[in-house]
Amino acid sequence: MESNKIKIALAGNPNSGKTTLFNALTGLRQKVGNYPGITVEKKTGNSKLDETTDVEIIDLPGTYSLYPKSIDERVAQQVLCNKEDDSYPDITVVVADATNLRRSIFLLTQIIDLKMNVVLALNMIDISISKGIIIDVNHLSNKLQIPVVAINARKHEGINKLKKAIIHTRKEKINSFFFDIKLLFKDVIEDTNKIRGIENNYASFLALCMQEMSGEGKIRIQLFDLCKKHGFNYSRAQAQETIRRYKKIDEVVENCTTIVEVQKNKSFTKWLDDVLIHPFLGYVVFLSVLFLIFQAIFSWSEYPMDLIDSFFTNLSMWTASVLPKGVLNDLIVKGILAGLGGIIIFVPQIAFLFAFIAFLEDTGYMARVGFITDKLLRGFGLNGKSIIPLLSGAACAVPAVMTARTISSWKERMITIMVIPLMSCSARLPVYTLIIAMMIPAEQSWGPFNLQGLVMMAFYLLGFLAALATAFLLKFILKAKERSYFIVEMPSYKIPDWHTVLYTIVEKVKIFLFDAGKVIITISIILWFLSSYAPGNRFEKIDAKWAGIEDAEASITAEKLEVSYAGIIGKSIEPAIKPLGFDWKIGIALITSFAAREVFVGTMSTIYSVGDNSNTQSIRERLESVKNPDTGKKFFTNAVGVSLMLFYAFAMQCMSTLAIVRRETNSWKWPIAQFLYMGVLAYISSFIAYQILV
Amino acid sequence: MQKLSEISFGKEYVIHEILDTELAQKLLEMGCTPGEKITLERKAPFNDPIAIIVSSFMLSIRRVDAKQIIVKQV
């Protein structure tokens, strides 16, 4: 049954309302996956056209044409041109922005020429009318020889009419075309048809144009020879075809639209742009927006994060008491549940961050942010589109890495992804807080400013500067695969659609939970194993030693951790971390915080056997009393504190980020490179700081 | 004839030619075909990138790319 489902592809320009229509058609019945072998997101969803017709809808990446220039466009092209492709649709719905009819129907006519069943969904017709552009829908339908339905995707208007049109179109067999490509390249196309064994002129033309990008073996060589024979230069051919096609489109558009004079006040968009792109005010507004977002993320997430935390604490305690004692109990409670808790705790921050980003994106503001920051970031090998991923990194690197998708240049995207984890994320906050509290008395101030707060801010700034500096270096290391552009449409400002915002949140949270989640759980289990097992009968000896002594739980846990595999690793790396001022105990904390940085606090409290490990105050007091066995003085000196903070600022101690980087780059190469360079950076800076300060 | 990077506010231009092939591919498909009207709409701080209005939508483009586009004042 599943395979007989009618497949519908949604195609359209970026900002055409394609995703809004997709959401309107499918609701939450959506799946996000990847196209095989590439990192382009594949969004599919189920819908019903009527009581009896179930359909699967594929949301293709937004493109302006079918010419494959980026991986996104390649996907759209591959799905629509290859009848054998799993996703090859029975019907393609092209979503067009009525205010940009000319540009929107360019893609449409290309798809028509592939001899596909096409329906045009004409979106935002109300806005076009208010701009004085009246489109004769019936006339347009006649001219294009396909059904045209006016819709308003946001208000869910015209959706039923669209569904009816789709059902109707399905039964038709279309053999017309819009622009005859043979007019331009008759011979070479006929030869290509023969080689490909398919009588589809436009598909053959596109196959010729994309032969460089596809590795189709024998056919590729034949096509290459063919181009040589006919003197076919694909980029020139594309340009030629585009211009001719647009000429024809211009005739149609002119024929079907009437321009009426509307009273033009200075538009809302212009008025807003005066402020938002202003050379001074633009940055002020942007920084204020950022400030608000971070305030909100930190303060609003706190409550749900506390809830999740206590939920998992309770669940762990409950599970531990219900299940029989033993390995399984331990594995579930300390391995799996701890890992799950560590993942789910980030969901509120991810949700809030994406709520803001989706909201601002939908208003059209994001394009402006890129516009005012592009020049500044370009010097560092980045792009205007890098600003949002970078700043999101200050909340959490995981969603930040996901937002880097919008950067179309491969090099700029990779640089962005590589430097994001240097931004001080919220997981560093508890570590910084603890160490700063140990080094600086709360009441100490520097002028009117609280010194603790200043140091905290300095470390955030340090992260940002390190990210820029690294980006600058990577600019010379990475080879660009393509030229970088900032050709971005700046859409008119709109009131955001809360549906879109909601769907974005659900989608991103799902990706995080399921894709990164798998890796995180695996590593959590490994970490659990390392810290709860020891070679030989060491644990039994500890149990025997403390047997019968009351309230020894904390001491037993601490001693067991010391002799466990994690403890062994901690001790074995001690020589390496001694020059940074760290001992083997910190070594263990470094290893366990690989699960997530904030685990540092918990591990420190376990290892120094602080009974209550939820109380920062008690951990601090305990740590402050620790003496250095060599000197007999305080162990946590300022030198150790600064060194430790620098290490946490720079080291890549977050498996969630590594997992998401692997997912986004589709290779282990990048997360490994990231882990190594950040590790080296952390080691060297801690080393220098400690050696100077000690 | 002048480069798109040199145009001034308040005047109307049409696209004459896009010199760079790769850039041309990107812009042509978005409807920036020869003969289309162009006006300068915004300049980002530091005058780069610039935003133009072309076939009724606003498009931002870096100055370095704008140099590759030849326009005619009408």
User: Choosing among A77, A179, A375, which should be mutated to test the B contact, i.e. which has the most B CBs within 10 A?
Assistant: A375
User: Percent of chain A beyond pLDDT 70?
Assistant: 94
Max Cα separation, chain A?
95
With CB atoms and an 8 Å threshold, state whether B49 touches A243. no
Position A347 scores a pLDDT of 85
The CA angle A283-A289-A292, to the nearest 5 degrees, is: 140
Could you list the residue range(s) of the whole structural domain that residue B47 is in? 2-73
In B, which residues are within 8 Å of A240 by CB distance? none
8 Å CB contact between A297 and A393: no
Parallel, antiparallel, or unpaired: how do β-strands A6-12 and A54-59 relate? Answer: parallel
pLDDT, greater one: A335 or A181: A181
Q: Point out which residues pair with A34 in neighbouring strands.
A: A41
**Banded model confidence at residue A475, pLDDT cuts 50, 70, 90:** very high
Token pair, residue A40, equals: 């382009």
Closest approach of B31 to chain A, Cα-based (Å): 6
| Alpha-carbon gap, residue A392 to A406, rounded angstroms | 14
8 Å CB contact between A560 and A534: yes
**CB-based burial of residue A50 (10 Å sphere; 0-12 exposed, 13-18 middle, 19+ buried)?**
exposed
Q: Tell me what the mean pLDDT of segment B3-15 comes to.
A: 94
Q: Does B19 touch chain A (CB under 8 A)?
A: no
Residue A581 gets the label, from left (phi > 0), alpha (psi -120 to 50) or beta, of: left
Nearest to A478 by CA among A673, A672, A683, A685: A673
- Does position A615 have pLDDT exceeding 80, yes or no? no
Q: In Å, what is the CA distance from A329 to each residue of A324, A336, A345, B67?
A: 7, 10, 22, 68
- Does position A474 have pLDDT exceeding 80, yes or no? yes
Nearest to A125 by CA among A161, A179, A174: A161
Into how many domains does chain B fold?
A: 1
Residues belonging to chain B: 74
Q: Point out which residues pair with A153 in neighbouring strands.
A: none
Token pair, residue B23, equals: 């850039």
Q: Does A245 touch chain B (CB under 8 A)?
A: no
Position A404 scores a pLDDT of 87
Which of B55, B62, B65 lies closest to A103 in CB terms? B55
The CA angle A33-A35-A36, to the nearest 5 degrees, is: 115
In A, which residues are within 8 Å of B21 by CB distance? 235-236, 239
Letter for the amino acid at A487?
A: I
Nearest to A116 by CA among A79, A63, A142: A79
Position A613 scores a pLDDT of 47
Name every residue whose Cβ is closer than 8 Å to that of residue A99 and which is 6 or more positions away in sequence.
A124, A127, A128, A131, A133, A492, B56, B57
Radius of gyration of chain B (CA): 11
| Interval A284-313: pLDDT, tens | 999 898 888 877 777 787 889 889 888 988
| Alpha-carbon gap, residue A203 to A77, rounded angstroms | 10
Position A215 scores a pLDDT of 53
Residue B31: closest CA among chain A residues belongs to which residue?
A103
In B, which residues are within 8 Å of A238 by CB distance? 25, 28
Nearest to A198 by CA among A81, A111, A117: A81
**CB-based burial of residue A607 (10 Å sphere; 0-12 exposed, 13-18 middle, 19+ buried)?**
buried
- Does position A620 have pLDDT exceeding 80, yes or no? no
- Does position A214 have pLDDT exceeding 60, yes or no? no
**Banded model confidence at residue A213, pLDDT cuts 50, 70, 90:** low
Q: Tell me what the mean pLDDT of segment B29-44 comes to.
A: 93
**Banded model confidence at residue A233, pLDDT cuts 50, 70, 90:** confident
**HEC-encoded secondary structure of chain B:** CEEHHHCCCCCCEEEEEECCHHHHHHHHHCCCCCCCEEEEEEECHHHCCEEEEECCEEEEECHHHHCCEEEEEC
- Could you tell me how far CA B50 lies from the centroid of its own chain? 9
Residue A372: closest CA among chain B residues belongs to which residue?
B44
Q: Does ipTM surpass 0.90 in this model? A: yes
Position A1 scores a pLDDT of 40
In 3-state terms, what secondary structure has residue A549?
coil
Position B66 scores a pLDDT of 95
8 Å CB contact between A355 and A505: yes
In A, which residues are within 8 Å of B48 by CB distance? 374-375
Q: Tell me what the mean pLDDT of segment A380-408 comes to.
A: 85
Q: How far apart are the first and last CA of chain B?
A: 10
Q: Tell me what the mean pLDDT of segment A221-234 comes to.
A: 84
Q: Does A1 touch chain B (CB under 8 A)?
A: no
- Does position A31 have pLDDT exceeding 80, yes or no? no
**HEC-encoded secondary structure of A286-324:** HHHHHHHHHHHHHHHHHHHHHHHHHHHHHHHHHHHHHCC
Which of A239, A247, A378 lies closest to B24 in CB terms? A239
CB neighbours of residue A383 within 10 Å:
27
- Tokens 């939508």 map to which residue? B57
- Across A196-228, b (16+ Cβ under 10 Å) vs e yields beeebbbbbbbbbbbbeebeeeebeebbeebbe
| Domain ranges, ordered by start, for chain A | 2-170, 182-259, 533-635
Q: The domain that contains B12 carries what CATH number?
A: 2.30.30.90
**CB-based burial of residue A554 (10 Å sphere; 0-12 exposed, 13-18 middle, 19+ buried)?**
middle
8 Å CB contact between A569 and A587: yes
In 3-state terms, what secondary structure has residue A258?
strand
| Alpha-carbon gap, residue A110 to A107, rounded angstroms | 5
User: Residues of B numbered 37-66 whose beta carbons fall under 8 angstroms of chain A's beta carbons: which are they?
Assistant: 42, 44-46, 48-49, 51, 55-62, 65
Q: Which fold has domain A2-170?
A: Rossmann fold (3.40.50)
User: Choosing among B9, B23, B52, B57, which should be mutated to test the A contact, i.e. which has the most A CBs within 10 A?
Assistant: B57
**CB-based burial of residue A678 (10 Å sphere; 0-12 exposed, 13-18 middle, 19+ buried)?**
buried
Q: Point out which residues pair with B18 in neighbouring strands.
A: B69
Position A440 scores a pLDDT of 81
8 Å CB contact between A46 and A56: yes
